[in-house]
Amino acid sequence: MSRPDSPSCAAPDGEIASPDAARIARFRDDFRAVAGQEPAPAAPLGLAVSGGPDSVALLLLAAAAWPGSVHAATVDHRLRPESADEAAMVAALCTRIGVPHATLTRAESGVFAGNQQEAARTLRYTLLSQWAAGTGLLWVATAHQRDDIAETFLMRARRGAGVGGLAAMVPMRPMLAEDPASPLLVRPLLGWSRAELSGLARCAGAPFVTDRSNADPRYDRARIRRLIDESDDLSPGRLALAAGNLRHAEDGLEWSFARELPGRVSGTGADLTVDAGQLPYELRRRLARWAIDAVRNAAGLTHPWGDQGLDRFVSALDRGDAATLAAIMAHPAGDRWRFRMAPSRRSH
């Protein structure tokens, strides 16, 4: 459930005030640092605007920074009765400030099958990518900010995540992981706090909605958010800094792995052998995951499998034992690991 939030320092006469010049300049600098250039009529920017305070602040900043070069879209997942009204609120706000808006609506209503958050995210990025490509947009910006990084870091740390899981989200990447040519997802607000974005939206006199689930203790993120709020020792800025440092480490590991990979693979996509000799554990782990993905892709297995069980899988190979994960079987011969589809299970 969500509710409209009334601004506490509204602009005169109910107008929508532009953010101040210093914040606009900061935002332009931050965007340029991520994307390498600024939007222009020939290279317009798309915005994902849900109607929450962070995304409304993003809308106000971008509209003020690059008038005439910004488009906005709201995804209606049709999971809640009020979602259509929220999309209409964003559309009305965009009309008032001169930003073209589109509502991207899921065809069916009701809950998704499987993991709700993952399914909603996949749908959202698919619809936004299609909209951006059809509108001729180079980028789509989201309003992820510093507190999101801090909360995600703690949530994943509680689950024992590794370097990649604890690393801060990347500031720019293709919107669809499976399509490197898809429009670019950019996150220019990763250095901004939730409080300053919410304050910006309030003082502009802009309407936004507050999602009550953000305070619902049934949800992991809500519990983590409360833990941070109530602790003097858990600074969102410091947590985000730690996640950022791990992002640098993750990037370094990926760079090293990309250099090692070409000389360590033999065979075809459906029958691969990799050489894990002399590699540290983390690179052996990445090599195993890469090989599993390669064989699955060759077999046409496209559904995600995550990496649960990957450490046990690699440990088994290190011991010299055959192992199976995500429908892929690996047989070790010393440091050389052979990957193929696992035999189909037969029912009796």
**DSSP letter string, 274-332:** EE-TT--HHHHHHHHHHHHHHHHHHTT--S---STTHHHHHHHHHHT--EEETTEEEEE
Reduced to 3 states, what is the DSSP secondary structure of residue 100?
A: coil
Q: What's the pLDDT score for residue 114?
A: 66
- Residue of 282, 287, 281, 288 whose CA lies nearest to 249: 282
Bridge partner residues of 86 (DSSP): none
- Residue of 193, 181, 168 whose CA lies nearest to 57: 193
- CB count within 10 Å of CB 160 equals 9
Residue keyed to tokens 């699955």: 296
Binding positions for ATP: 50-55
Alpha helix ranges (H) inside the chain:
21-35, 53-65, 83-97, 116-135, 146-158, 163-166, 194-203, 220-230, 236-260, 281-298, 310-319
Tokens matching residue 124: 């959202």
pLDDT tens track for 10-68 = 566 678 999 999 999 999 999 999 999 999 999 999 999 999 999 999 999 999 999 99
Using CA atoms in the order 308, 255, 182, 45, what is the torsion angle rounded to 10 degrees? 110
Q: How far is CA 212 from CA 1, 28, 84, 109, 250, in A?
A: 6, 31, 17, 21, 34
Identify the sign of the CA torsion 285, 287, 290, 292. Answer: negative
Q: What's the pLDDT score for residue 12?
A: 66
Using CA atoms in the order 324, 253, 240, 177, what is the torsion angle rounded to 10 degrees? -60
Q: Side by side, which strands form the sheet with 101-105?
A: 101-105, 70-76, 45-48, 139-141, 179-186, 172-176
User: What's the first-to-final CA gap in the chain, in angstroms?
Assistant: 48
Structural domains of the chain, with CATH: 2-146+169-219 (3.40.50.620), 269-341 (no CATH)
Q: What's the pLDDT score for residue 347?
A: 46
Q: What's the pLDDT score for residue 99?
A: 98
Binding positions: 50-55
Bridge partner residues of 46 (DSSP): 71, 140
- Provide the residue-wise pLDDT of the chain in tens; the chain has 348 residues: 344 444 446 566 678 999 999 999 999 999 999 999 999 999 999 999 999 999 999 999 999 999 999 999 999 988 888 889 999 999 999 999 999 999 999 887 766 666 677 788 888 999 999 999 999 999 999 999 999 999 999 999 999 999 999 999 999 999 998 899 999 999 999 999 999 999 999 999 999 998 877 788 888 889 999 999 999 999 999 999 999 999 999 999 999 999 999 999 999 889 999 999 999 999 999 999 999 999 999 999 988 788 889 999 999 999 999 999 999 999 999 999 999 999 986 544
DSSP states of 203-235? HTT--EEEEGGGG-TTSHHHHHHHHHHH-SS--
Q: What's the pLDDT score for residue 1?
A: 37
Helix (H) or strand (E) holding 108: none
As to burial, measured by CB atoms within 10 angstroms (0-12 exposed, 13-18 middle, 19+ buried), residue 141 is: buried
- CB count within 10 Å of CB 296 equals 20
Q: What's the pLDDT score for residue 320?
A: 98
Contact, 328 vs 339, CB < 8 A?
Answer: yes
Q: Give me Rg for the CA atoms of the chain.
A: 23
Query: DSSP state, 38?
Result: -
